[in-house]
Amino acid sequence: MFQSLRYSNIFLRLGLATVFIWFGVDKFINPQYWLSAWVPQSVLVIVSKFGLSGADIVYSSGVFELLVGASVFSNIFIKIFSVLAILFLVVVLFTFGVSEVVVRDFGLMGGFLALLFWPENRRY
């Protein structure tokens, strides 16, 4: 069977980048959906005290997801963005709890953990 760490890394990064870029772009295309379906009322109350709106949260999340996707795709600052993505997914998990939708984040966290612990400076 054909095996290669190089190709494994590329496929892992492309899969994770696709998910994060997809969701990041969708937050700009459908911000109202994300605001009404995914931003808890308690978060809206908290951010309003800082002069921010729910849309600001959705757009900020979209920018963050696009940055993570770009980092993972380009293999630049991948360790930093892997840690940030894991923290982001943990916050999502604790905010929404485990459900049939949020459970996908366990797989994403596993992928980012794999990138975080991927050996550096290794010949493939």
How far is it, in rounded angstroms, from Cα 117 to Cα 38? Answer: 31
The string of pLDDT tens digits covering residues 80-116 is: 999 999 999 999 998 888 888 788 999 999 999 999 9
How far is it, in rounded angstroms, from Cα 77 to Cα 50? Answer: 30
4 Rama class: left (phi>0) / alpha (psi -120 to 50) / beta:
beta
Domain ranges of the chain: 7-116
Residue 68, amino acid: V
Closest CA to 19 of 57, 73, 91: 73
- What is the pLDDT confidence band of residue 35, given thresholds at 50, 70 and 90? very high
What is each CA distance from 83 to 17, 53, 91, in whole angstroms? 14, 27, 12
Burial of 73 (0-12, 13-18, 19+ CB in 10 A): middle
- Give the per-residue pLDDT at 103: 87
Question: Which range, of 7-11, 15-19, 70-74, averages the lowest pLDDT?
Answer: 7-11
